[in-house]
Amino acid sequence: MAINYEQLKNRKFDEIVHTYTERDTMLYALGVGVGHEPLDEKALPFVYEEKLAALPTMAAVLAYPGFWIKDPDTGVDWTKVLHADQEIIIHKPLPPSGTVKATSKVDAIIDKGEGKGAFIYSSRTVTTEDGEPLCTLVQNTMARGHGGFGGSTERPPTPQPIPDTAPDITCELPTLAQAALIYRLSGDYNPLHADPAVAREGGFDRPILHGLCTFGVAGHALLKECCDYDVNRFHSMKARFSAPVYPGETIRTEIWKLDTGVAFRCRVTERDIVVIDNGFAKVS
């Protein structure tokens, strides 16, 4: 199996029309751990239908195209792919329910060389039914089983540096032991996150948390600590995935204030390992 650069770069995607309900919005928030403090009234609007609001990171599951890279026509060995980076750009606060649409596209394929793999950048802009942009999602997938196929050799974007100082803010948030089982109901049914046998085949002793669930926990921390839970102050977020999280672990988000926004990274406290790195968010 080998990547055909031109075929993959010009791959056509079907338009996805996605109708979601207030229940879906609350379920997503519960999946990333909102509500773990039942008396926190500032977090309540994300999990309670009274004055319901959508978490900004829910953008990542809207008009989701599915695990398309597994399709035979991509030429990609899907068993050797990793979700490397994720970015969300919020054009306006997400409605708590509605119908949206989006068409994905492959933006760039960077050939790291024989035996070094490849980066596949894809994106989609989610709009209302009337075509008004709500959010743009940019994903970088690392195809470990490829490289040397003759694709672009340009350098990938430089990751956000993390200051060599103590963080200005830290926020510890727990994850539930059943967090992956809840989060998957927002649309990512990869059995790696549910079936212990599949997890063992993948080299893990138990199912791992979805990377985008960890991303959502980080987004919750940023919304809480930098925006006082005001979704109008949350504009964009990007980060690199560096290690998996096991459901039930505690995620500490470390935040540095910058002139242009905030830098952040996430660490699992139980194992003292960085799980999200090189993060940056624009907040106001």
The model's confidence at residue 1, banded by pLDDT at 50, 70 and 90, is: low
pLDDT score at 236:
98
Report the distance separating Cα 165 and Cα 273, nearest Å: 18
pLDDT at 80 over 90: no
Stated pTM of the model = 0.94
Q: Averaged over 158-173, what is the pLDDT?
A: 96
Top-confidence residue, 74 or 130: 130
Most confident of 22-31, 108-117, 136-145: 22-31
Top-confidence residue, 111 or 176: 176
Q: Please, what's the b/e burial string for 69-83 (b: 16 or more CB within 10 A of its CB; e: otherwise)?
A: beeeebbbbbeebee
What percent of the chain lies above the pLDDT cut of 70?
99
Top-confidence residue, 169 or 113: 169
Q: Averaged over 258-272, what is the pLDDT?
A: 97
pLDDT score at 261:
97
Distances (CA, A) of 189 to 6, 64, 135, 174, 229: 30, 12, 23, 22, 29
On the CB side of 74, how many CA atoms lie within 13 Å of its CA?
A: 19
pLDDT score at 49:
96
Report the distance separating Cα 199 and Cα 175, nearest Å: 19
The model's confidence at residue 220, banded by pLDDT at 50, 70 and 90, is: very high
The mean predicted confidence, pLDDT, of the chain is 94
pLDDT digits (tens, 9 = 90+) for 267-280: 999 999 999 999 99
Of the candidates 54, 126, 53, 141, the residue with the CA atom closest to the CA atom of residue 91? 126
Please state the domain extents for the chain.
5-283
What percent of the chain lies above the pLDDT cut of 90?
79
Structure tokens at 173: 């948030």
pLDDT at 196 over 80: yes
pLDDT at 192 over 70: yes
pLDDT at 114 over 90: no
pLDDT score at 72:
84
Top-confidence residue, 75 or 150: 75
| Chain centroid offset of residue 38 CA | 25
Partner residues linked to 142 by β-bridges: 82, 119
Active site residues: 188, 193
Residues 6+ apart with CB under 8 A from 143: 3, 69, 76, 77, 80, 81, 117, 118, 119, 120
Structure tokens at 42: 């500032």
In the numeric block, the tokens 């006082």 are attached to 228
Residues 6+ apart with CB under 8 A from 38: none
In the numeric block, the tokens 């960085």 are attached to 274
Report the distance separating Cα 229 and Cα 40, nearest Å: 11
CATH number of 5-283: 3.10.129.10
Burial class (CB in 10 A: 0-12, 13-18, 19+), 172: exposed
The model's confidence at residue 233, banded by pLDDT at 50, 70 and 90, is: very high
The model's confidence at residue 264, banded by pLDDT at 50, 70 and 90, is: very high
pLDDT at 157 over 90: no
The model's confidence at residue 117, banded by pLDDT at 50, 70 and 90, is: confident
Structure tokens at 226: 């930098």
| 127-141, 188-202, 212-226, 231-245: range with lowest mean pLDDT | 188-202
